[in-house]
Amino acid sequence: MKIVLNIGPGDISSIGDALDVVMLDHEALASVPEEFMTPEVCLAAVRNNGGTLKHVPKKFITPELCLAAVQGLGEALEYVPEALKTAELCLAAVRNSSFLGTGALLYVPEALKTAELCLAAVQSWSFAALRYVPEAFKTAELCLAAVQSWSFAALRYVPEAFKTAEVCLAAVQKDGSALEYVPEELKTPELCLAAVQNNGWALEDVPEAFKTAELCLAAVQKNGEALRYVPEALKTAELCLAAVQNDGKALKVVPEEFKTAELCLVAVQNEDRALEYVPEELKTPELCLAAVQNGGRALQYVPEKLKTPELCLAAVQNGGGALQYVPEALKTAELCLAAVQKDGWALWYVPEALKTAELCLAAVRDSRDSRDSRDSFALEYVPEALKTAELCLAAVQKDGRALWYVPEALDTEELYFAAVQNKREALRYVPNARKTAELCLAAVQNNGLALEYVPEALKTAELCLAAVQGQGYALLYVPEALKTAELCLAAVQHEGWSLRFVPEALKTEELCLVAVQNYGEALRYVPAALKTAELRLAAAQNKDAAPR
């Protein structure tokens, strides 16, 4: 089966089809016919996105399925039956709350809200968690922990009684935008300076009386566009220059009297799109060339009369997508080749008459870093008549995700291997019927997170071990039955953060120590009983380590 978008029941004719579509689009679970709805299909769907739990038939909702759902998206706790909400499940949910979501704490039964669980919640990704903490558990210590976490707006939910100078300073030092929620009587010049030094946009909430030349300079040096909140009397040529040196787009709010040729040149050299805010009379061939040499997309702001073959070539050489702003009369074979060599997806803007086998091959082999999500798009714009085995192989070797656009007639085992060895997501586009143990092993050896797309029947202890040894985070996709002490240790040795997916029963002092030695923030997933002085010290020593 070749997977298509806008899945309907008629597109699914087997359990294999169902597995294919839910791994590609979790919402497709709602379209799976009853006869193909199995526990395995439901598990694959919630592992793709925990929120899919809302579409799972009640007869398939088990503690294991619910755990998999909340481990992927804490807010999936909303769809967990009350009878299955346990202390352990709720703890896993609040620890995996999404950044901009409501936070799983909202869906935790009041009877299960403990001080420990509330602390885990406010230390999670969710900025709103403190909002749902019962008043009885809101202490000075918990509120301080909340504002010191990643919760950028936590101060908003701190009771006024706990908004002290210390808490407010900690909040703005973590994220200056928290200044919005600092009581006016606690705003001091020092606190406001700390806020704008962290986030220049905080200048909006600085009292006018505290806006000095020094403070405004600190703000625009951090975020150039904060210039919009600088009092007119304090806007000087020097301040405007500092603003555009930080962010060329600040030119948008520079007073017209300060827009000089020199300042505009600094702006476009910092940010190519600043050309949009350059007065037409100051747009010279030299200035426009400087802009497109910084970023080809600036070509859209170049006056038509200044678009020459040389300027357009400079633009596409610095951003193939700039081809969309090149006048049709100037689109030549040479110029189009330069564009697709820079960015293969620019093939979209190449006139059909200029699409040749050579040009299309150059497009799928473009020079852009293959981590760019648009790389796989080039093959989409290759005419079907020009899609050959050689070209498709080159495409998936450049970006495995291009497998999506390979005609079914050209799907081969060689092509599949080339794709999964390039990008983990490529395994997602291989029909389940064509997935073999060897192919899946090659995929997880390239990137352990490819385990997400391995059919449950092919997940063996050996395969899962290979996955977590490459990417500890792959533990998320390991079936509970295969999570052993040895496998979990291998996961946290590679990536301390993966401790969040280790079953509570397997969390030992030794394993937790290894995790926090890799990544101090993993301490939040250590059971309270195991938080020894030694372990806390190890976490503190590695609190700034990057997740790995």
Cβ atoms of 124 and 96 within 8 Å: the answer is yes
- Please report which confidence band the pLDDT of residue 545 belongs to, taking 50, 70 and 90 as the band edges: low
pLDDT value at 163 more than 50? yes
pLDDT score recorded for residue 14: 84
The span from the CA of 464 to the CA of 476, in Å, is: 10
Mean pLDDT for the stretch of residues 366-389: 77
Cβ atoms of 325 and 339 within 8 Å: the answer is no
Helix axes 140-148, 115-122, angle to 10 degrees: 30
- Please report which confidence band the pLDDT of residue 11 belongs to, taking 50, 70 and 90 as the band edges: low
Q: Which amino acid belongs to residue 307? A: K
pLDDT value at 505 more than 70? yes
Residue at token pair 């080749």 = 337
Mean pLDDT for the stretch of residues 236-241: 98
Cβ atoms of 434 and 459 within 8 Å: the answer is no
Mean pLDDT for the stretch of residues 244-250: 97
pLDDT score recorded for residue 8: 52
Token pair, residue 467, equals 């996955």
Mean pLDDT for the stretch of residues 181-198: 97
- Please report which confidence band the pLDDT of residue 538 belongs to, taking 50, 70 and 90 as the band edges: confident
pLDDT value at 375 more than 80? no
The span from the CA of 341 to the CA of 354, in Å, is: 14
Based on the number of CB atoms within 10 Å of its own CB, is 213 exposed (0-12), middle (13-18) or buried (19 or more)? middle
Residue partners of 409: CB distance under 8 A and separation at least 6? none
Cβ atoms of 66 and 93 within 8 Å: the answer is no
pLDDT digits (tens, 9 = 90+) for 436-463: 999 999 999 999 999 999 999 999 999 9
The span from the CA of 466 to the CA of 21, in Å, is: 26
Nearest to 509 by CA among 484, 476, 532: 532
Of the ranges 113-122, 209-218, 402-411, 534-543, which one carries the lowest mean pLDDT score? 534-543
Q: Is the dihedral of CA 218, 223, 224, 228 positive or negative?
A: negative
pLDDT digits (tens, 9 = 90+) for 67-86: 999 998 999 999 999 999 99
pLDDT digits (tens, 9 = 90+) for 324-336: 999 999 999 999 9
Q: How many Cβ atoms from other residues are within 10 Å of residue 139's Cβ?
A: 15
Mean pLDDT for the stretch of residues 476-492: 96
pLDDT value at 390 more than 80? yes
Q: What is the 3-state secondary structure (H, E, C) of 59-91?
A: HHCCHHHHHHHHHHCHHHHHHCCHHHCCHHHHH
- Please report which confidence band the pLDDT of residue 5 belongs to, taking 50, 70 and 90 as the band edges: very low
Cβ atoms of 58 and 82 within 8 Å: the answer is no
What is the percent of the chain where pLDDT is above 70? 94
Mean pLDDT for the stretch of residues 80-96: 95
pLDDT score recorded for residue 4: 41
Mean pLDDT for the stretch of residues 237-252: 97
Mean of all residue pLDDT scores within the chain: 91
Token pair, residue 496, equals 């301390």
Of the ranges 35-44, 178-187, 375-384, which one carries the lowest mean pLDDT score? 375-384
What is the percent of the chain where pLDDT is above 90? 79
Mean pLDDT for the stretch of residues 357-364: 96
Long-range contacts of residues 407-411, Cβ cutoff 8 Å, at least 24 apart: 408/2
pLDDT value at 371 more than 70? no
pLDDT value at 372 more than 50? yes
Mean pLDDT for the stretch of residues 424-431: 92
- Please report which confidence band the pLDDT of residue 376 belongs to, taking 50, 70 and 90 as the band edges: low
The span from the CA of 29 to the CA of 35, in Å, is: 13
Cβ atoms of 252 and 275 within 8 Å: the answer is no
Instruction: State the Rg of the chain over Cα.
Output: 27
pLDDT score recorded for residue 222: 97
- Please report which confidence band the pLDDT of residue 485 belongs to, taking 50, 70 and 90 as the band edges: very high
pLDDT value at 528 more than 90? no
pLDDT value at 200 more than 70? yes
pLDDT score recorded for residue 12: 81
Higher pLDDT, 373 or 241: 241
Cβ atoms of 98 and 125 within 8 Å: the answer is yes
pLDDT score recorded for residue 2: 39
pLDDT score recorded for residue 1: 33
